[in-house]
């Protein structure tokens, strides 16, 4: 989402076709067009907060999931929607939490949000009965010294946003780790040293930082991830599990989840096609992941926490991508597998 799309535009109600996609009443949603006269960010946030209070009906209380697994959607995949609309969309389908992207061009890029703006975001979250489960950034343990120093500052800035949005239960910060698979042996000691620097910054800021493996990064296996986590040696450094990256390497759900689950605090879900040499990410339900098996295994292991749909840039950068359709189809798949259809009673 561009900053202009976050800050500008008048409201219009959804068309009949758009309402069918969301299964929500027209009064619950607004769309804003960046082609209309600009507002300041503060004016925009004030307007969206007022709309949340006046135009949108209160959402009913959610039924608590007995297994403690909370389905969410990453707004990394809703860059084309204004924040207020993205939150209402997620809440309308039954998601319980969202992940916010800190990347450039997103409305939740920290430098764009004043103290008053952050309070307005909290208001929107409360109105939609959503929590922020995670903040997403793209850092690297393989970066040069100058970039590493900037990454430490980014961790500090992310921590402030996390505490501003949810002082009693701040979201985690998750990030991929950089480097390439073939560089692991030459990079691992440097990455371990810098992971300890990240850990010190996270500890000082009282922020949980989750390390995420990636099929195309130096940390691309459970063994490498566990080794790096052990080197960080901090209660403020935990793990983000994403089966899709292991699936592309021909590894199974059980053989990757079991060794990582004890330190996992956040889970991303998406599907895949291809392999490690020809990576293709898909929406949940478009690949071969068995989400009923996934749900059963998580319950067997006693895990609870946020399980969040991540739409890859491979998908949302394609012409014709629709974030509302993606959110709806993903919830249909996960809601059925995790027994959450009851949360759609809106």
Q: Confidence class of residue 55 from pLDDT cuts 50, 70 and 90?
A: very low
The mean pLDDT of the chain is 85
State the CATH number of the domain containing residue 34: 3.20.20.150
Query: CA-CA distances (angstroms) from residue 267 to 40, 52, 75, 313?
Result: 35, 29, 15, 18
| Collapsed DSSP state (helix, strand, coil) of residue 331 | helix
Closest CA to 154 of 175, 168, 180, 134: 175
Residue-wise pLDDT tens digits, 144-178: 999 999 999 999 999 999 999 999 999 999 999 99
pLDDT surpasses 70 at 132: yes
- Is the whole model's pTM more than 0.95, yes or no? no
| Six token digits for residue 235 | 């209660």
Taking only the tens place, the pLDDT of each residue in 283-335 is: 999 999 999 999 999 999 999 999 999 999 999 999 999 999 999 999 999 99
pLDDT at 65: 73
Q: 134, 76, 102: which is closest to 313 by C-alpha?
A: 76
Rg of the chain on CA atoms, in Å: 20
Query: Given this model, what pLDDT does residue 299 score?
Result: 97
Contact, 323 vs 86, CB < 8 A?
yes
On whether the CB atoms of residues 261 and 303 are closer than 8 A, the answer is yes
Using an 8 Å Cβ cutoff, are 228 and 211 in contact?
A: yes
On the question of pLDDT at 53 being above 80, the answer is no
Of the candidate ranges 17-26, 28-37, 192-201, 224-233, the one whose mean pLDDT is the lowest? 28-37
Structural domain for 63, as ranges: 3-344
Please give the tally of structural domains in the chain: 1
């Amino acid at each position: 989402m561009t900053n202009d799309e976050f800050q500008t535009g008048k409201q219009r109600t959804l068309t009949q076709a758009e309402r069918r996609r969301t299964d929500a009443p027209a009064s619950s949603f607004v769309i804003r067009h960046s082609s209309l006269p600009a507002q300041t960010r503060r004016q925009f946030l004030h307007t969206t907060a007022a709309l949340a209070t006046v135009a949108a009906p209160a959402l009913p209380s959610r039924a608590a999931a007995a297994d403690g697994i909370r389905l969410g959607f990453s707004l990394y995949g809703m860059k084309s929607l204004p924040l207020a609309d993205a939150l209402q969309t997620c809440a309308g389908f039954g998601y319980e939490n969202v992940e916010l992207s800190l990347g450039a061009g997103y409305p939740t890029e920290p430098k764009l949000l004043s103290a008053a703006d952050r309070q307005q975001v909290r208001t929107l979250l409360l109105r939609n009965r959503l929590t922020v489960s995670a903040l997403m950034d793209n850092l690297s343990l393989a970066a040069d010294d100058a970039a590493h120093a900037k990454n430490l500052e980014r961790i500090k800035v992310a921590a402030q946003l996390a505490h501003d949005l949810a002082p009693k239960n701040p979201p985690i910060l998750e990030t991929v780790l950089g480097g390439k698979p073939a560089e692991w042996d030459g990079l691992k000691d440097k990455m371990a040293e810098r992971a300890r620097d990240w850990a010190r910054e996270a500890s000082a800021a009282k922020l949980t930082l989750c390390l995420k493996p990636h099929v195309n990064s130096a940390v691309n296996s459970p063994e490498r991830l566990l080794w790096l986590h052990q080197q960080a040696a901090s209660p403020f450094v935990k793990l983000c599990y994403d089966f899709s990256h292991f699936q592309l390497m021909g590894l199974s759900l059980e053989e990757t989840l079991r060794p990582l689950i004890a330190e996992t605090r956040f889970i991303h879900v998406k599907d895949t096609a291809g392999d490690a040499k020809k990576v293709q990410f898909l929406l949940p339900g478009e690949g071969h992941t068995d989400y009923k098996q996934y749900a059963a295994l998580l319950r067997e292991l006693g895990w609870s926490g946020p399980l969040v749909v991540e739409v890859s840039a491979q998908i949302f950068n394609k012409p014709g991508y629709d974030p509302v359709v993606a959110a709806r189809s993903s919830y249909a798949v996960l809601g059925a597998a995790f027994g959450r259809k009851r949360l759609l009673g809106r």
